[in-house]
Structure 1
Amino acid sequence: MPSDVFIAINSDALYTMSKVYIGRALLRKGSSDLDEYQLWASLALELLGKAALAHKHPSLVVDPTHSPSMFVAAGINVTTDVKTITAKTLFERLAHLVPRFDKTIQKFCLEISERRNAELHSADIPFRAMRLDAWEARYWHACDTILLHMGSSLEQWLGAADAKAPRHLLDEAAKALDAAVKLRVEAAKEQFEALKKVERDRLMAEAELREPQHLAGLFKGSYDEIWKECCPACKCRAFMTGEQTGEDINEEWDEDAIWEIVDREFVGEEFHCPTCDLTLMGSDEINAAGVSYIHKDQQEREMEYEPDYGND
């Protein structure tokens, strides 16, 4: 990674500026200016996200169609007019970089950035229409997810004294989510167990015949993989889908071919049980239900080589 990148895409500089902006946000909240509170908070979130990408590599935050910016990302400072990616691209990339930054968080982050753009570039007043309890806890959750991936925390980002309120909100939101998911699982379990035994047995037998490749229509989103899970409510075969976050490739040789052994890792985004209709959205709900949102598998594939030309 280049050590001498322009300050506009330097991870430490972006992180520091995000701290400045969240400080301004909390000052506005303290004076009951909730419109500006959300405005500064949305800017802080975007800068924090860019800091996380730049921490991995500064090329992840520059506009790939602007070649001078790509040079700067490589440590060659040919311009001070560095162009960076849009908020939409930022949150899409964070979803690939940060395992717990799932579709639910991504959607929330995009919505707050769109409200900010409408606030700044039109006569609309979208922030005024948003109640504090409709966005604040989810905001701290999104920031906390990014910060934990960076090895930081809300307390470090805000300063220990200022972090109590958002940490309290985050803890309360997490408790509420945990309780709601457990009740959802328990309700699905009770409904299934209320069926006659012969009906339960029939449904469980049908569930065992279902295979992942036939069930893409179960899910709202389009993901990299679908895999089998045991439903925490009815114990039937259920399914989860999510994005691939990494793979490790090793080669094995035999007399006829070279094989790649690919260990893959996925993060679950959606869980659905066709038998009892239990649905879980996002890694937090999946985790709260007692189901692992991390999935690993192994594939074998034969390496293919193009024929050599001009060597005969």
Structure 2
Amino acid sequence: MITPYDHQAMWSKAKVFLNRAMDNNPERSFDEQAFWAAASLELLGKAALARVSPLLIADPTEDGLNILIATGLIEGTAKFTSVTASTIFKRCQRAFRPFNAADAQRFADARNEYLHGSTVAFMALPPQAYWPRFWTLASILVNAQDHDIDELVGSTRVKVVESYLEQNSHNIEHRTESLIERAKQRINQYRAGTLPAKIQAEWRANPDLTAGLTYATTQGCPACGGIGELEGYDSSDMTYEYHFDGDVEDPVYATATVKVPSDYFSCPTCHLVLDRYELIQQAGLPETFEAFDDDPPEEAEYGND
């Protein structure tokens, strides 16, 4: 039996709702798509909070029944009710920066008007404005659960979501802040011994977060101050040094110093991962680094004509 506060069940339900939200016309009209998306946003918020503790979403009734259910002290078919969407979003704003509760509440208000009012509130905002705002909020809640967008919508729809996120001029700034703040939160919980057991097990399951690109160097982490690894694969900018043997005219071999664009950063301490150049740049990490290559590709017969 699935418990009513189970964060995985809420995550799965949000996925179902978003599949409906992303069904194109004529199967679903925009107002129906927007309704399912707004409903999924609240579920994503609940899942993110419940993953930390079910107590964060339990409605504290006078007899304490919901709190007892959330702690697992009471099982069975007892009714479980959660706090309001407004409370969910306010708690998400405090816990998962840079989530904006006021923006999220507008989606909830439009959903309520759609269900209970006399107008279709979603129609006040055209699709081209609705979806970038929605995905800006949803992506923060996805990151708060240590998931990626493709885990939510599937690989075939990732580009659709990314196209909406790119329309938000602050997307890279928000995404970088969200990733760094989540990494800080995780390591602080781990050090304080308050990281939930399930999350701790997930966190420990994959200690090697490196991408295995061609070149790498150590770099301080912007989240925890530990030593992370900056990686890149572009070797086009090389400065060759030629090595000779005695009186032989041609060089025997060459080595090279490579100026590598930064493509990926990971930290084994706090598990921060920045997997794009733009995120690395926004985080204030070096945009390029130097690496040594003792077996570089030949440079037009070592530079001789």
TM-score, normalised to structure 1, is 0.53
Match of 1:126 among 121, 125, 146: 121
- Deviation digits for residues 222-247 of structure 1 (CA, Å, limit 9, x no counterpart): xxxxxxxxxxxxxxxxxxxxxxx889
Are 1:69 and 2:66 counterparts? yes
CA distance in 2, matches of 1:72, 1:126: 36
Are 1:34 and 2:30 counterparts? yes
Are 1:151 and 2:146 counterparts? yes
Letter in 2 for 1:86: T
- Assess if the C-alpha contact under 8 Å between 2:15 and 2:153 holds in 1: yes
Instruction: Report the CA distance shift for 1:70/1:128 in structure 2 as closer, same or farther (over 3 A).
Output: same
Letter in 2 for 1:171: E
CA distance in 2, matches of 1:177, 1:57: 30
Instruction: Report the CA distance shift for 1:57/1:120 in structure 2 as closer, same or farther (over 3 A).
Output: same
Q: Could you tell me how far 1:118 is from its partner in structure 2?
A: 1.0
- Assess if the C-alpha contact under 8 Å between 2:150 and 2:158 holds in 1: yes
- Deviation digits for residues 268-288 of structure 1 (CA, Å, limit 9, x no counterpart): xxxxxxxxxxxxxxxxxxx9x
Match of 1:168 among 157, 163, 181: 163
Identity %: 25
Q: Could you tell me how far 1:178 is from its partner in structure 2?
A: 7.2
Where 1:27 maps in the other structure, the secondary structure is: coil
- The match for 1:91 is 89
Where 2:140 maps in the other structure, the secondary structure is: helix
Are 1:109 and 2:107 counterparts? no
- The match for 2:201 is none
- The match for 1:100 is 98
Letter in 2 for 1:155: D
CA distance in 2, matches of 1:85, 1:29: 34
Where 1:84 maps in the other structure, the secondary structure is: coil
Q: Could you tell me how far 1:290 is from its partner in structure 2?
A: 6.8
Instruction: Report the CA distance shift for 1:81/1:91 in structure 2 as closer, same or farther (over 3 A).
Output: same
Match of 1:135 among 130, 135, 144: 130
Instruction: Report the CA distance shift for 1:137/1:159 in structure 2 as closer, same or farther (over 3 A).
Output: same
- Deviation digits for residues 137-163 of structure 1 (CA, Å, limit 9, x no counterpart): 011111111111211011110000022
Letter in 2 for 1:56: V
- The match for 1:10 is 6
Larger C-alpha radius of gyration, 1 or 2?
2
- The match for 2:39 is 43
- The match for 1:238 is none
Tell me, which stretches of 5 or more residues in structure 1 are unaligned?
181-244, 250-264, 266-286, 293-312
- Assess if the C-alpha contact under 8 Å between 2:49 and 2:56 holds in 1: yes
CA distance in 2, matches of 1:41, 1:68: 31
- Assess if the C-alpha contact under 8 Å between 2:31 and 2:122 holds in 1: yes
- Assess if the C-alpha contact under 8 Å between 2:2 and 2:9 holds in 1: no
- Assess if the C-alpha contact under 8 Å between 1:28 and 1:36 holds in 2: no
- Assess if the C-alpha contact under 8 Å between 1:35 and 1:128 holds in 2: yes
Letter in 1 for 2:6: N
Q: Could you tell me how far 1:6 is from its partner in structure 2?
A: 5.3
Q: Could you tell me how far 1:77 is from its partner in structure 2?
A: 1.6
CA distance in 1, matches of 2:125, 2:163: 21
Of the structure 1 ranges 28-37 and 111-120, higher mean CA displacement relative to structure 2 is found in 28-37
| Superposed counterparts of 1:183-202, under 5 Å | none
Q: Number of residues paired by the alignment?
A: 184
- Assess if the C-alpha contact under 8 Å between 1:72 and 1:79 holds in 2: no
Instruction: Report the CA distance shift for 1:121/1:152 in structure 2 as closer, same or farther (over 3 A).
Output: same
- Assess if the C-alpha contact under 8 Å between 2:165 and 2:171 holds in 1: no
- Deviation digits for residues 66-121 of structure 1 (CA, Å, limit 9, x no counterpart): 521111101122543111110000001111221222xxx22111000011011101
- Assess if the C-alpha contact under 8 Å between 1:69 and 1:79 holds in 2: no
